[in-house]
Amino acid sequence: MATIKDVARAAGVSTATVSAVINDSAYVSAELRARVLSAVRDLNYSPSLAAQNLKRGRSQLIALVVADLANPFFSRVVWAAEAAVAAWGYSLLIFNSDEKPEVERRILARVRTLSCDGVILVPVGDSTEHLRNDPDGKPIPTVLFGRSVADYRSDTVTIDNISAGRQATEYLLDLGHTRLGTITGPLHVTTGRGRLDGMMAAMQSRGLTLESRYIRSGEFREDAAYSVARSLLEQPDRPTALYVASGLMALGVMRAVADLGLRCPGDISIASTDTIPGIGGLRPRLTRTEHPLVDMTNEAVRLLVDQIRRGGPAEPRNVVFQPSLVVGDSCAPVVAQLGPPPLSSSGSCQ
């Protein structure tokens, strides 16, 4: 690899001049400029980022730390973030904390070592201590994404989870359902907790309560949702409608419904929150409250770049996006359901 010295020698100038030409940081006469540029081309010179980073104290790297890279929801975030970050001139590092706080801690140490310019973090767990990433020096610019952490002051980009749960629930209630069930995410994260709270609030305001035997909690995973959905739906007086907290879980629930021989929406109505790629191919089309995922990601990157530019976090900003109800055909009015029907024979096999 050619260095700035090689270029300087080839062009017959000093390294300072080469640097000035490359960065447009000082006036250089047309003649020297031309000589430098042609030497750059001849030698196929490209400045070493390592050297620039060392001197400038930045790295043009942004880290994205997600809670579960196997979840297609976060895959979409990766996709959107790559584009957003590239548009601002940064490159994107990907880390997977796999919902494990101690892995998250290790990743954040690594991010610091790599001297990333900023981090977009989907925080795991409810601890807040280890997020204060630099005890002494200035902290790395950080934007929390999707989930928030109590009493941690930093920019956040989230959706209104309560509204997501409420909207979906109200849609089911409007169809006449009263015996509702839900499959929630982990209740110690805001995305899990908030959606359940929204659902309960919606029911309460109509004088209904969500029975605890119709609540199942689990991880945001397809297989977990599948098994809890089975156990929920195998109850003799199962609910007539289900609110499922995430798109990936909804896939598992649909699979459970099919395997139990139930028909959706004939036997059971299903609504969910968030969307994942490929879910559009599913029949019936899922009724769901969707996140404006691309907008959220762009906003997170924008906030982060802003922090980086101003050299430190300003007053923390909290941007909350509203989910919107997308009506599919996975829900039917309760009158169309024939009371609490038994499980069909084909599905009763264990």
Site residues for a copy of itself per CB under 8 A: 1-2, 43-44, 46-51, 53-54, 59-61, 69-70, 72, 75-76, 78-79, 82-83, 86, 91-96, 109-110, 112-115, 134-137, 222, 248, 251-252, 254-255, 258, 276-283
Give the span between the Cα atoms of 220 and 7, in whole angstroms.
54
CB 56 within 8 A of CB 25: no
Residues 45-104 that bind DNA (CB under 7 A): 45, 47-48, 50-52, 54-57
Query: With CB cut-offs between 5 and 8 Å by kind, which of DNA, a copy of itself, none does residue 151 bind?
Result: none
Say how far apart CA 3 and CA 85 lie, in whole Å. 28
Contact 198, 165 (CB under 8 A): yes
Segment contacting DNA (CB under 7 A): 6-14, 64-72, 241-249, 315-323? 6-14
Residue 113 interacts, among DNA, a copy of itself, none and using kind-specific CB cut-offs from 5 to 8 Å, with a copy of itself
Least distance between a copy of itself and beta carbon 326 (Å): 16
Q: How many residues bind DNA (CB under 7 A)?
A: 33
Task: State the Cα torsion 45-50-54-59 to the nearest 10°.
Answer: 110
Q: How far is CA 340 from the centre of its chain?
A: 37
Nearer to a copy of itself, 72 or 194 (CB): 72
Q: Are 162 and 204 in contact (CB under 8 A)?
A: no
Asked if 172 and 180 count as a contact pair (C-beta separation under 8 A), the reply is: yes
> Dihedrals φ, ψ of 233, to 5°?
-80, -15
| Footprint (CB under 7 A) of DNA, residues 205-244 | none
Q: φ and ψ at 88, to 5 degrees? A: -95, 5
Dist CA 237 CA 59 (whole Å): 59
Binding mask 10-49 for DNA (x = CB under 7 A): --xxxxxxxxx-xx-xxxxx-xx------------x-xx-
Nearest CB to DNA, comparing residues 17 and 154? 17
Contacting positions for DNA (CB under 7 A): 1-5, 12-20, 22-23, 25-29, 31-32, 45, 47-48, 50-52, 54-57
